[in-house]
Chain A
């Protein structure tokens, strides 16, 4: 009992994660706390039992005899089969629920559901390319934004190459090496890779998506906390994989418009230099 309380207390008070900066990060952090609590209880319980057994039942000098000849105990076996089964079932259903709230269960992967998704686009803030191009996996911004009236999502085309991310803003028709997004407005990244597999990861957003050649992918999120956060490539993509980093800057609304305007007049500006590691 004390063990359970200790586990819950540690789970609730642990801070191992970076700051949360997107709408789905707090949801994720809830899941992390639940998993951490359960894990702490199990680990402390099992290690406690093990250490206690090793001390209590250690062979003392001069003892040559055997322990008790207990071959097994069926009720006990049933108990420790049932408890983990219930726990993992609970964790599985709970994380499924979390995943749904993060928008991961919105089907984007085939034509029929694509059209269905396009029809409810205004509700779910999912905008699918009108082209017949097949969209793979990814995360839509479904659950979280539901209900609240939202501004239309900001679309950004992301191209991952060895060894940089290029962000093309259709609104201003320019390419940036950094991702700039407004706070509180859904952003939809339309991602593609031309050479090898990359992965787009923002630890503070708790989001990661592989960018796979031949499979255009959609990733949606809503930033909630202004600031600069790292964008990291998380899939081995070649020698400079470790240097394939960039920054996502989350602006207040007017600051974002200002940034957009300052870039708009010069459509050829390629400020990718900050993202390339060759320097």
Chain B
């Protein structure tokens, strides 16, 4: 009988070392987080290329760039890739896996193997989805919503592959959600109470609850849909007594919460980034926590606002209008708290801060159009038009993607130990912000004036603003160039950041950068006040005060 001694394990690691570990079934939450991030970014580039095809097609009013059914495949793939392979995995999987164990003071996630399985479902699902484009009949072409009966009449193989791919991605998302809930509730370091947690933990707890409650509904719906396609059942087929509106209810029961699954983690990340760079405590911690939970509850009961023109009964329209409008209240609380966090701070206007503030601008704009869209009479006019396209891009791109970029500038020194170049970062910000607004702001007008969404051809009177929009899209495409150069060059020869370049207090910075395998050498730190920045009122930090401040203080 051999007795294992600690030295036996230290000799040869069971996990691959070096760059190879990023291609392995690694159980380290930090490796998995970066796997999610890089994999998601690859799909972002693919989805962006698909968006480029769409905007090229729409730069002229006739269908002349790709054939009409290819166009429908492209827009379906664009939506599916961006939602299920870029935003959801990155904003939940990447940052969640990297940060949550640090924030709760753990050495890894609660279920490391489940975690690795959740990630490794994504690349095959993504490859399956993209490759369905190359089979005969092509990819799914019924939009990311896959409304029957259209999805029952388009080429079956592409639609079934789409369903399988989304089921895999949904499974990945559920595994991740279970893992986050278990980690946040059960793996907290002794002495760390729920109300000590950084805001991102609360956001991920809320998000994971939404994932676990609503994603199974989508999975069930899509399985029924696949029965309709493959076995010719009649769940959603009106010619066999099925009901297509039932599909819409079930689909949106997941897909509206999906908006919060994409946006709540972004709210959490912003709550981490703003206090550090403004050198102030997060304003109104308790109300922020309650407003997250308020959004979770309300987010589950607003789905039918996507169906105001689908012949829903009047009482239902009234209920969903009121419920949807009321989401503005907890969301508004969060935005006012962030503004109050900035007020009176010492704000460093770096790339992370610029992207986070642009997020506030874009999201407030998208939120205001969202309140308008919640009103039934308004929605009846603009439903399924470019107004809606503009609205949700302001929410998911102007909101979440801006936050992902902000978070990248903020945590890149943690990932690599090097600071991203600020000049390239600001160029990236400028191109993204101008391109984004140029691309999507004109689409509000297009929608109000009669351009429906998901069309390859349109009335020639809309040509000018469509071309402006396409120029904006080109700028957005160009904006990824400085980002890519920055990320790749910095990894090799960037300015060393030290362990804590932002002088942050949250636990992920209280270790080396990049962190060791089990996060801390020795015991995990107990951080009960993650936002304890700032000098108390009436007290002046003499080491840091400027001359004018000292003078002003002496006048008082």
Contact = CB atoms under 8 A, between A and B. Distances in A.
B364 A212 contact: no
Given A67-B534, A203-B381, A209-B309, A77 B452 contact: no
Interface residues of B, number: 101
Interface stretch (A43-51, A173-181, A182-190): A43-51
A28 B346 contact: no
Contacts of B532: 69
Contacts of B449: 16-18, 203
Nearest to A69: B534
Nearest to B343: A53
A223 B307 CA distance: 25
Contacts of B154: 238
Contacts of A240: 68
Q: Which of B69, B284, B445, B541 has the most CB of A within 10 A?
A: B284
Contacts of A136: 311
A35 B280 contact: no
Interface residues of A, number: 90
Interface in A49-78: 49-50, 53-54, 57-60, 62-73, 76-77
Interface stretch (B163-171, B365-373, B425-433): B365-373
Interface string B122-160: 000000000000000000011100010110011000000
Contact of B346 (A57, A73, A208): A57
A138 B381 contact: no
A67 B503 CA distance: 14
B378 A76 contact: no
B543 A104 contact: no
A196 interface: yes
Nearest to B380: A208
Nearest to A97: B377
B497 interface: no
Contacts of A63: 346, 544, 546
A136 B537 CA distance: 63
Nearest to A32: B378
B234 to A, nearest CB: 11
Interface stretch (B12-20, B323-331, B520-528): B323-331
Contact of A16 (B287, B445, B545): B445
A interface: dominant SS: mixed
A215 B309 contact: no
A152 interface: no
Contact of A234 (B239, B279, B385, B458): B385
B280 A67 contact: yes
A50 B342 contact: yes
A196 B541 contact: no
Q: Which of A138, A195, A197 has the most CB of B within 10 A?
A: A197
A89 to B, nearest CB: 8
A197 B153 CA distance: 12
Contacts of A62: 546
B273 to A, nearest CB: 14
Interface stretch (A79-87, A164-172, A249-257, A266-274): A79-87
A217 B326 CA distance: 30
Contacts of B464: none
A80 B330 CA distance: 10
A69 B533 contact: yes
A234 B384 contact: yes
A66 B279 contact: yes
Nearest to A79: B336
A102 B536 CA distance: 57
B344 interface: yes
B244 A213 contact: yes
Contacts of B153: 195-196, 238
Contact of A212 (B244, B337, B339): B244
Interface string A197-228: 10101011011111011110100000000000
A236 B541 contact: no
Interface in B55-112: 63, 67-69, 71-72
Interface string A93-107: 001101100101111
B309 A50 contact: no
Contacts of A199: 309, 383-384, 452
Contacts of A96: 318, 321, 376
A53 B274 CA distance: 13
Given A18-B449, A35-B372, A230 B336 contact: no
Contact of B450 (A57, A232, A242): A232
A203 B450 contact: yes
Interface string B510-543: 0000000000000000000000111111000101
Give 8 nearest A-B pairs by CB, closest first.
Answer: A137-B311, A65-B544, A214-B238, A242-B455, A69-B534, A203-B450, A67-B345, A95-B375
Interface of B: 63, 67-69, 71-72, 141-143, 147, 149-150, 153-154, 238-239, 242-245, 278-281, 283-287, 309-314, 317-318, 321-322, 325-326, 328-329, 332-333, 335-337, 339-340, 342-349, 357, 360-361, 364-365, 368-369, 371-372, 374-378, 380-381, 383-385, 444-445, 448-450, 452-459, 532-537, 541, 543-546
16 contacts: A16-B444, A17-B449, A31-B377, A50-B360, A54-B347, A57-B342, A70-B281, A71-B284, A92-B374, A107-B314, A234-B383, A238-B154, A239-B67, A239-B141, A241-B456, A243-B63
